[in-house]
Chains A and B, each alone.
Chain A
Amino acid sequence: MTASATPESIDSPEQLPQWQLFWHRLKRRRIAMVGGVVLVILYAGALLAGFIAPYHFDRVDNQNFFHPPVWPHFSGVHLVVTRYESMPGSFVYQAVPNDTAPVHWFVRGDKYDLFCLIPASIHLFGTGDSKYPIYLLGTDQFGRDVFSRLLYGSQVSLSIGLVGILISFVLGLLIGGISGYFGGWADTLIMRWCELIMSIPTLYLIIALRAVFRPNISSVQIYGMIIIIYSFIRWAGTARIIRGMTLSLRERQYVLAAKSMGQSNLKIILRHILPGTFSYVIIAATLSVPYYILGEVTISYLGVGIQEPSASWGLMLSAAQNTEYMRSFPWLLAPGVAIFITVLAFNFLGDGLRDAADTKS
């Protein structure tokens, strides 16, 4: 009976708020949770890159080009690193037996800005002695620590996806919503425009633009350019899907009800139509982050993206273009592994989100 329904009956356990049910279902998907945890770790690493990395990203070690990875090991109770010596005139390194230095925690080292704001020089770990370097993933052709550059590079590679989806989804939601809600000639115009945009080959556009601009533009400018170009092309696909969903959502009676109360068209789109697409948008956004990451990788790999000495995963991979290098110094492929893990984690999480949002599963 309606009139006699008591408030107690509402709080029964099966009527948890929707997001709690969602979280519950997501938690049961082990693989999605693994993806989520990996991403949390990766993003934490990017945020604290300066602190975790033992060296600054452009610190050059003239003595140790292509130094192999050095891992600390236990000697008694102390964690120590062994010193390596290079054969004269070659990049072959040999560990010097019994010549070790202890690894210290919170050691003073290269200066950096924590969160790009706070000047600091304390690093999580290190030897504090440049004779005993700690190169977890070796060094590259300029003698720079690959592990440190990987962390700094993740700031570019991981943030580019988030900023990219932010721009492209805001645009896609708004334009798609307007197109679907109003219909008619506005819809036709916007959709043809979308198709036009989607037919632009992103890669060639960026390369062509690089040819137009002066060659020495900074990495920050290139970073902005990559995001803007990728997201200004990518929004069109989102807009088309949102438009399709809007076409069905606008026929809902609550849209008519909102209109009958005198609500404005823009408010109806923002408050009553677009929230109905969010379950799709969250998942699609998660699944499209790798698109931006890989986009940056491609651009930087081709040498038209992020410039030396800045670090990005694509740029670091370009150092491993040479097959000779790849065979002799396989640690240069570490950024490839990082890209692989990140993209996989995003896809796992996105799949899990989709399954958790699907109440029928």
Chain B
Amino acid sequence: MSLLEIKDLKLDFGRGAEAARAVDGVSITIEAGETVCLVGESGCGKSVTAQSIARLVPVPPANYVGGEIWLNGRDVLKMPIGELREIRGGVVSYVFQEPGAALNPVFRVGNQIKESLKLHKPEKANDAEVIRLLKLVGIPAPESRIRNYPFEMSGGMQQRVMIAMALASEPKLLVADEPTTALDVTIQAQILDLLRDLKNRLGMAILLITHNLGIVGDMADRVAVMYAGQIVELAAAGDLLRRPLHPYTKALMNSVPKLSGNMDRLVTIPGNVPRIGNFPPGCRFAPRCPVARPSCSDAVPELVEVEPKRWVRCPYWNDPIK
């Protein structure tokens, strides 16, 4: 059985007439020890999907309309709150985008890590364990660092503390929600190296959310590309990067700046991500798609397994680009 199996997850914001579908039929599985990337533009439902794994999206305004989330053999969406608190941190841990905002400014970092230990490993909630964790994430002189406040640390350092905190309870799945977006480029590489290294050492699975296709090749075993609340392409990372099939994936890849190119302008995808609750009929990418045809707006295309282990939500995936 998979570690995580999200089946046809549907989530609305608001109820009744005002309901806006933010996640529409997302299915994804993650095996133990696997790294899966969730890629997409801002507002496509990546974070909401990821936070749903521990049912962190506040209800209301959110509203789970359908689907199942099987984590470690239990359905998260049907769990009582007590059990939910055990899997939060215990089975799945989160690392967020802005480490500065995700640490409480009024507590020393050592105490914050200890708080996480107290919840899941109370017998280990001591300074020695905190120092071991800080060493694990590569913080120099951890003995003195545990007495630091978050503001006394740099962004990269803070993110390492966040990762240490997430690892404290030895989770089976680490959800990293754009862990490097708020950091500068050299630190980004360090943090990604750290994540990869920790994964190999501790054998946990990672769900990495990013809008940067550049880091997908380094990190991921498999990639899911999301657009407007739906998965549009799901494939092994190598296959997807070598030969993207969905027009949206192709467009995303085109818009990654290349050092070798001698272009005057960066390539962008025209238009904006449609707003939640205001999706176009039929294929949601059709209005921005370079290869769209009139029939694309008729019906929402299905996610089809076009090759073994490779799913695409576009009936014309095999057509050459005009």
Contacts and interface: CB of A to CB of B under 8 A. Distances in A.
Residue among A2, A263, A278 with the highest chain B CB neighbour number at 10 A:
A2
Interface of B: 51, 54, 56, 60, 84-90, 93-94, 96-98, 101-107, 115-116, 119-120, 138, 140-141, 144-145, 148-149, 152-157, 160, 162, 165-166, 169, 186-187, 190
Contact of B86 (A252, A262, A275): A262
A58 B140 CA distance: 68
B148 A10 contact: yes
Nearest to B90: A262
Contacts of B101: 252-254
A260 interface: yes
A259 B56 contact: yes
A263 B141 contact: no
20 contacts: A2-B154, A2-B160, A2-B187, A3-B138, A3-B190, A5-B140, A7-B145, A10-B148, A253-B98, A254-B101, A257-B103, A260-B88, A261-B89, A261-B93, A261-B120, A262-B86, A262-B88, A262-B90, A262-B120, A263-B119
B106 A276 contact: yes
A91 to B, nearest CB: 61
Interface string A198-215: 000000000000000000
B155 A2 contact: yes
Interface of A: 1-7, 10, 15, 18, 184, 252-254, 256-264, 271-272, 275-276, 278
A254 B56 CA distance: 13
Contacts of A18: 149
Given A256-B96, A262-B86, A3 B156 contact: yes
Q: Which of A184, A252, A259 has the most CB of B within 10 A?
A: A259
Nearest to A272: B104
Contact of B190 (A2, A259, A278): A2
A259 B145 CA distance: 24
Contacts of B141: 6-7
B85 A264 contact: yes
A256 B156 contact: no
Nearest to A15: B152
Nearest to B152: A10
Contacts of A2: 154-157, 160, 187, 190
Given A10-B152, A256-B56, A275-B106, 15 more contacts: A2-B156, A6-B140, A18-B149, A254-B105, A256-B96, A257-B165, A260-B54, A260-B89, A261-B93, A261-B120, A262-B86, A262-B88, A263-B119, A271-B104, A276-B106
Contact of A261 (B84, B88, B157): B88
A344 to B, nearest CB: 32
A33 to B, nearest CB: 25
B85 A262 contact: yes
A16 to B, nearest CB: 11
A262 B87 contact: yes
Given A2-B190, A5-B140, A261-B88, A254 B116 contact: no
B48 to A, nearest CB: 12
Which one of A184, A257, A264 has the greatest number of beta carbons of chain B within 10 Å? Answer: A257
Given A3-B156, A10-B144, A260 B56 contact: yes
Contact of B94 (A5, A184, A260, A278): A260
A254 B103 contact: yes
Contacts of A10: 144, 148, 152
Contact of B96 (A5, A253, A275): A253
B115 A184 contact: no
A276 B104 CA distance: 9
Contacts of B155: 2
Contacts of A263: 85, 115, 119
Interchain residue pairs A-B with the least CB separation, the first 5:
A2-B156, A262-B88, A261-B89, A253-B101, A260-B94
